[in-house]
Amino acid sequence: MDPTAPSVTNSTNGTTEETTGFPFSHEAAVFVACLLGIMAVFGILANTLTIVVITMSRKLRSVFSLFIISLCASDLASALVSPFFIYRRTWGFNFWMIPDFFCKFSWCIHMWTNYVTAIHIVCFAALRLCAIARPIQFREIKQHHAQICIAVIWFICFLAGGVPLAVMFGVEQDRDSGIVGKFPACAVLEDSLDDFKLYHYVAYPIFFFLPIILVTVISVAVGVFFYKRQKQKQESNLSSVKSVSQDLVTDSKNGLNKINKTKKKAENETFAILQLSLIVGSFLIGYLPFTIYQLYGYTVPPESPKDERNDWNFGISEYILLRFSECLNPIFYNLASKTMRDETKRVLNSFFCWCCRRKANR
């Protein structure tokens, strides 16, 4: 661990023990680094694959697909800077041995993409609600509208999240006293602590708590609309069956087309609800603990070694959940859409065939 860690005498038996100077054990650091490292690699590969699949497929081009691509880009950026956060929470906890730029850069990307993801989830849920409740108005939303909206979201979140964190965060190596000494070396600077407290009391409710509330309310509204529509369909089943039966008698092809269209529409609605539920569930798994920790950590700083261990456990747990939720997203995109699964298989098959041909030509 830290070679400069001091030796202390154990008052109970008079022996001298080496203290690590860290609120965690070497074994815990290795386990966390391996676990988060695996998640980072998976997140990079899975999100890159999802972006490639949607971009290359004509079947997947839609307003929703554009938001999914943007969400994957956000998760990909987070995965790319996650090694710096692994280092920050393990061997770089007390002494940040790499340039200060990487501390500022990683926090800038981290908070920027977190804001982007939170706003994207709200927009995605709102679009699903519009598609179910107001399908005619939803058809007026074109892909270029979505592109403009996505660009504005990224720009605003950069100004609100990326820039302030890059300014207020950095490496504080002299951490022997004060609140700064309770946190990792790469954290909020002591001179910016008061500004950050004000910032996170204003910004976090806007970009985290409000989206969580909105996403929950919108998801419930989508469920209510879906339930009402299903109930209406059940009530109109008799008339529909009679109508289709008549068509089958007079024109079997016309009747079968009606059955297939009704079945396909019901499947699409079910997949839409499933996709929204999975994405919202993943968002809450990752961002609710993260938001609570961010508000808790700088409001109730650890005062004792036990508090510091608890703070580290809480902080690393919420970060693991955040990374886990970002790994789940590409999986959920495929689980909720048969078209997405088919296109993913097609792209993977094309890639493996290309690799085999290249190997054979050597």
pLDDT at residue 200 is higher than 80: yes
Has residue 359 been placed in a domain? Answer: no
pLDDT at residue 186 is higher than 50: yes
pLDDT, averaged across the chain: 81
Of 8-12, 233-237, 346-350, where does mean pLDDT reach its minimum? 8-12
Has residue 3 been placed in a domain? Answer: no
Q: What percent of the chain has pLDDT over 70?
A: 78
Question: Can you give the pLDDT at residue 220?
Answer: 86
Question: Can you give the pLDDT at residue 149?
Answer: 95
Query: Binning pLDDT at 50, 70 and 90, where does residue 14 land?
Result: very low
Q: What is the pLDDT of residues 321-354, one digit of tens each?
A: 999 998 888 888 887 778 888 888 888 888 888 8
Write phi, then psi, for 160 (nearest 5 degrees).
Answer: -85, -30
Are the CB atoms for 172 and 184 separated by under 8 Å?
A: no
pLDDT at residue 257 is higher than 60: no
Question: Can you give the pLDDT at residue 182?
Answer: 65
Query: Binning pLDDT at 50, 70 and 90, where does residue 247 land?
Result: low
Nearest CA-CA partner of 332 in 274, 250, 259, 246: 274
Quick one: 126 exposed, middle or buried, by C-beta within 10 A (0-12, 13-18, 19+)? middle
Question: Can you give the pLDDT at residue 11?
Answer: 38
Question: Mean pLDDT: which of 3-12, 172-181, 320-329 is highest?
Answer: 320-329
Q: What is the pLDDT of residues 38-96, one digit of tens each?
A: 999 999 999 999 999 999 888 888 898 999 999 999 999 999 999 999 999 898 888 88
How far is it, in rounded angstroms, from Cα 16 to Cα 7? 7
Of 114-128, 210-224, 300-314, where does mean pLDDT reach its minimum? 300-314
Residue 29 makes CB contacts below 8 A (sequence gap 6+) with: 22, 90, 91
Pairing status of strand 169-171 against strand 7-9: unpaired
Question: Can you give the pLDDT at residue 82?
Answer: 94
Domain span at residue 268?
A: 26-345
Has residue 353 been placed in a domain? Answer: no
Has residue 227 been placed in a domain? Answer: yes
pLDDT at residue 5 is higher than 50: no
CA atoms within 13 A on the CB side of 361: 6
Query: Binning pLDDT at 50, 70 and 90, where does residue 107 land?
Result: very high
How far is it, in rounded angstroms, from Cα 192 to Cα 199? 10
Quick one: 75 exposed, middle or buried, by C-beta within 10 A (0-12, 13-18, 19+)? buried
Q: What is the CATH number of the domain that holds 156?
A: 1.20.1070.10
Has residue 360 been placed in a domain? Answer: no
Q: What is the number of structural domains in the chain?
A: 1
- What's the per-residue H, E or C state across the chain? CCCCCCEEECCCCCCEEECCCCCCCHHHHHHHHHHHHHHHHHHHHHHHHHHHHHHHCCCCCCHHHHHHHHHHHHHHHHHHHHHHHHHHHCCCCCCCCCCHHHHHHHHHHHHHHHHHHHHHHHHHHHHHHHHHHCHHHHCCCCHHHHHHHHHHHHHHHHHHHHHHHHHHEEECCCCCCCHHHHCCCEEECHHHHHHHHHHHHHHHHHHHHHHHHHHHHHHHHHHHHHHHHHHHHHHCHHHHHHHHHHHHHHCHHHHHHHHHHHHHHHHHHHHHHHHHHHHHHHHHHHHHHHHHHHHHHCCCCCCCHHHHHHHHHHHHHHHHHHHHHHHHHHHHHHHCCHHHHHHHHHHHHHHHHHHHHHHHHC
Mean pLDDT calculated for residue range 204-229: 86
Question: Can you give the pLDDT at residue 352?
Answer: 85
How far is it, in rounded angstroms, from Cα 240 to Cα 259? 10
Quick one: 341 exposed, middle or buried, by C-beta within 10 A (0-12, 13-18, 19+)? middle
Has residue 351 been placed in a domain? Answer: no
Question: Can you give the pLDDT at residue 237?
Answer: 54
Q: What is the pLDDT of residues 278-301, one digit of tens each?
A: 888 888 898 888 888 877 766 666
pLDDT at residue 10 is higher than 60: no
Mean pLDDT calculated for residue range 218-241: 71
How far is it, in rounded angstroms, from Cα 236 to Cα 300? 58
> At what angle are helices 26-56 and 305-335 packed, to 10 degrees?
20
Virtual CA dihedral for 149, 151, 153, 159, nearest 10 degrees?
-150
Has residue 19 been placed in a domain? Answer: no
Of 109-118, 133-142, 143-152, where does mean pLDDT reach its minimum? 133-142
Has residue 305 been placed in a domain? Answer: yes
